[in-house]
């Protein structure tokens, strides 16, 4: 179940961007221990789990009229802030099934591919560790 948010440019009566968020989790896969090591890198041994709560960016799109102006990054920064510093919900990672064409955009925003097993697919599963965004 997802919640969708619209960013409206009221003066021009246009939708500038939209995105949706849903609850997710990253679960340990014994066949991909390298992946798990990557995810656990910043987590002390005593706090390591077999799964971690996450928030998934289900859809994110910026109206072409406003692309390349930092709006996509602004949206991701606000999601990072909302789920790290505001702490309304205990959550360690942001995940996204990124369209292949959008992978460089997410990489510029600090996301990493989780696995190599989807490298030939249309979308790639990526994550961002919210620990990297805590400013307090």
Ligand X SMILES: CC(C)(COP(=O)(O)OP(=O)(O)OC[C@H]1O[C@@H](n2cnc3c(N)ncnc32)[C@H](O)[C@@H]1OP(=O)(O)O)[C@@H](O)C(=O)NCCC(=O)NCCS
Q: What is the 3-state secondary structure (H, E, C) of the chain?
A: CEEEEEEEEHHHCEEEEEEEEEEEEEECCCCCHHHHHHHHCCCCHHHCCCEEEEEEEEEEEECHHHCCCCHHHHHHHHHHHHHHCCCCCCCCEEEEEEEHHHHHHHHHCCCEECCCCCCCCCEEEEEEEHHHHCCC
The residue sitting closest to ligand X, measured at its beta carbon, is 72
Q: Is the dihedral of CA 88, 75, 108, 1 positive or negative?
A: positive
Among 16, 39, 91, 98, binds ligand X (CB under 6 A): 98
99 in contact with ligand X (CB under 6 A)? yes
CB nearer ligand X, residue 74 or residue 132: 74
Q: How far is the CB of 124 from ligand X (least distance, A)?
A: 9
65 in contact with ligand X (CB under 6 A)? no
104 in contact with ligand X (CB under 6 A)? yes
CB nearer ligand X, residue 28 or residue 105: 105
Among 72, 83, 92, 128, binds ligand X (CB under 6 A): 72
CB nearer ligand X, residue 82 or residue 99: 99
Binding site for ligand X (CB under 6 A): 60-62, 67-73, 96, 98-99, 101-102, 104-105, 108
């Amino acid at each position: 179940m997802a919640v969708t948010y619209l960013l409206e440019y009221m003066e021009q009566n246009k939708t500038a961007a939209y995105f949706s968020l849903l609850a997710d989790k990253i679960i340990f896969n014994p066949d991909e221990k390298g992946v798990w090591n990557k995810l656990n890198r910043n987590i002390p041994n005593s706090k390591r789990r077999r799964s971690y709560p996450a928030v998934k960016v289900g859809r994110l799109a910026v109206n072409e009229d406003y692309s390349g102006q930092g709006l996509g990054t602004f949206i991701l920064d606000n999601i990072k802030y909302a789920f790290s510093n505001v702490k309304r919900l205990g959550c360690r990672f942001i995940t996204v099934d990124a369209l292949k064409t959008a992978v460089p955009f997410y990489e510029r925003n600090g996301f990493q591919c989780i696995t190599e097993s989807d490298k030939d697919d249309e979308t790639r599963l990526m994550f961002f560790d919210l620990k990297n965004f805590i400013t307090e």
